[in-house]
Amino acid sequence: MTSSDLPHLPLDDFRRHGHDLIDWIADYLEGIEDRKILPSVTPGEVRSLIPDHAPRDPEPMTEILGDLDRVVMPGITHWQHPGWFAYFPASSSPAAILGELAAAGLAAQGMLWSTSPAVTEVESAVLDWLVDLLGLPQEWRVDTGPGGGVLQMSASDSTHTALVVARRSATEAGHPIERLVAYGSAQAHSSIEKGARVAGYQHIRAIEVDQRYALSASALRHQVAADVADGLVPTWVCSAVGTTGTTAVDPVRAIAELALEHRMWHHVDAAYAGTAMLCPEVRHHQDGVELVDSYTFNPHKWMLTNFDCSVFWVADRTRLIEALSILPPYLRNAASEGGEVIDYRDWHVPLGRRFRALKLWFVLRSYGAAGLQAYVRSHLAWAAALSERVDQDERFELVAATTFGLVSFRHLAGNEATSALAETVNASGWAYVTPSVVDDTVFIRVSIGSTWTERRHVDALWDLFDAHG
């Protein structure tokens, strides 16, 4: 059988349907504001529209594309809606979509430099660009320093990787794995506990927070001292620059000083707020970052780059590579063994890797540093303005300081009133917020950062709060 005997979509038809699909995406984005954010389907409703078995014979692409509207669209939550204020944003942009399309078309496997040099070298260049753009240590540039960056699928993967590297360093130093301890704030992302469990840590400490919901450095120091007294080995600690609940910022420098005392691996989770560091005026929130061992942030949250795209930097790539490098004979090649190239398969758990960097490259070039800064600053300004409105309204109270693009507040009438207000806003169909809980207090999270959100959408959201509060 030859390729001509297989039912490949003819390239002329591919070209035509490709144009049709781009038109469909553009129409979707153009009219997204007119849609209700949340779907109204019941469990199993989408599945009921799909046959129980795969088709025996080829189906026409017109029919397949038509099912985007018939089958898929009724069950889609519209994360790109300008009224999206829930969770953190899931970024996208026309430039990122085109970059993703190009990566899919090339379908390159970038596990080694030799399997597609451009996959590796575009990635290393783009991540070196970001070191400069975010004000990170120059030593993290792979072209000049001992460190370097790699793209992961998510910040959870980065956290898990950091835990694994720290574990190896500790066990290589002679410490039994059952004595290793990992630390994070009580407000830290759940991926820390999950990653630590997967990495084999038996002791995972959730450190109390201060009145700002940031990790208490004194409480951490006390817990570390107690663990040492019990014969345990402090091994890994995480500083959050922007927690999920309230975007609290942990004291990176104070934690770093303690980590250095105990030779702990110090990881910074800036998954959401890392994008804000495009703006020099907010970089004080990562003071002390030059002292840490690793750092992660997600362009797919706030930097207009669609999922998945998470950056993981290390200060010393040698420790990372030594922990993860396994070289079977079928992966050996002259370029790798000569030490002249980066093989990113040694920088994370998976072997296979796709061309994630292409969409990020497209975004950075399409918007430029100035465009991205303007985008972030607009969200920071709108969040500050909304925060001021909340603060001046006698019905509401801020639960936490508005540090970045998240406004966290509650109704002074109590938890039930706060929950009811969130439900009313969400029932409107055109705005979506998420309630959360801290210290048994229900509050509303308003996350400003969606690609298509404008100031008028934030003003309209306030009008809803005002009318139903």
**By the 8 A CB rule, do 86 and 445 touch?**
yes
Distance, in Å, from the CA atom of 17 to the CA atom of 4, rounded to the nearest integer, reads: 20
Distance, in Å, from the CA atom of 226 to the CA atom of 108, rounded to the nearest integer, reads: 50
pLDDT at site 27: 96
Mean pLDDT, range 82-97, rounded to an integer: 93
Query: How confident is the model over 395-411, as pLDDT tens digits?
Result: 999 999 999 999 999 99
pLDDT > 90 fraction of the chain, expressed in percent and rounded: 79
| The CATH number of domain 101-363, selected from 3.40.1160.10, 3.30.1490.20, 3.40.640.10, 3.20.20.410 | 3.40.640.10
Q: Which residue shows structure tokens 């596990």? A: 111
Query: How confident is the model over 48-59, as pLDDT tens digits?
Result: 999 999 999 999
Q: Is 60 exceeded by the pLDDT of residue 1?
A: no
User: What is the chain's mean pLDDT, rounded?
Assistant: 92
Beta-carbon neighbour count of residue 206 at 10 Å?
15
Q: What share of the chain is helix, strand, coil (3-state, %, to 5)?
A: 50, 15, 35
pLDDT at site 304: 97
User: How many contiguous H segments (helices) and E segments (strands) does the chain have?
Assistant: 15, 11
pLDDT > 70 fraction of the chain, expressed in percent and rounded: 96
Query: How confident is the model over 450-465, as pLDDT tens digits?
Result: 999 999 999 999 999 9
Query: How confident is the model over 35-49, as pLDDT tens digits?
Result: 999 999 999 999 999
Beta-carbon neighbour count of residue 84 at 10 Å?
26
Query: How confident is the model over 302-355, as pLDDT tens digits?
Result: 999 999 999 999 999 989 888 888 655 445 555 555 567 888 888 888 888 999
pLDDT at site 222: 96
Give 193's pLDDT tier (boundaries 50, 70, 90). Answer: confident
Q: Is 90 exceeded by the pLDDT of residue 111?
A: no
Distance, in Å, from the CA atom of 340 to the CA atom of 171, rounded to the nearest integer, reads: 30
pLDDT at site 324: 83
DSSP characters over 165-222? HHHHHHHHTT--GGGEEEEEETTS-HHHHHHHHHTT-SEEEEE-B-TTS-B-HHHHHH
Distance, in Å, from the CA atom of 119 to the CA atom of 339, rounded to the nearest integer, reads: 18
Please report which residue ranges of 293-397 form alpha helices under DSSP H: 299-302, 317-324, 334-337, 357-392
Vertex 226: Cα angle to 222 and 228 (nearest 5): 115
**By the 8 A CB rule, do 287 and 250 touch?**
no
Mean pLDDT, range 226-235, rounded to an integer: 96
Vertex 137: Cα angle to 279 and 263 (nearest 5): 125
Locate the domains of the chain by residue range.
Answer: 101-363
Q: What is the CA radius of gyration of the chain?
A: 24
Beta-carbon neighbour count of residue 27 at 10 Å?
10
Give 9's pLDDT tier (boundaries 50, 70, 90). Answer: confident
115 conformational bin, left if phi > 0, alpha if psi -120 to 50, beta if neither: alpha
Cα separation of the two ends of the chain:
69
Query: When comparing pLDDT for 349 and 149, which is higher?
Result: 149
Mean pLDDT, range 22-40, rounded to an integer: 95
Alpha carbon 437 to its chain's center: 22
Give 215's pLDDT tier (boundaries 50, 70, 90). Answer: very high
Alpha carbon 367 to its chain's center: 20
**By the 8 A CB rule, do 249 and 214 touch?**
yes
Amino acid at 318: T
Mean pLDDT, range 181-188, rounded to an integer: 90
| Crossing angle of helices 155-172 and 317-324, rounded to 10° | 80
Mean pLDDT, range 176-199, rounded to an integer: 87
pLDDT at site 25: 96
Distance, in Å, from the CA atom of 265 to the CA atom of 104, rounded to the nearest integer, reads: 36
pLDDT at site 96: 97
DSSP characters over 404-451? SSEEEEEETT-HHHHHHHHHHHHHTSS-B-EEEEETTEEEEEEE---T
Distance, in Å, from the CA atom of 240 to the CA atom of 206, rounded to the nearest integer, reads: 13
Beta partners for residue 110, in sequence order? none
Mean pLDDT, range 348-366, rounded to an integer: 92
Mean pLDDT, range 206-222, rounded to an integer: 94
Query: How confident is the model over 239-293, as pLDDT tens digits?
Result: 999 998 899 999 999 999 999 999 999 999 999 999 999 999 999 999 999 999 9
pLDDT at site 6: 74
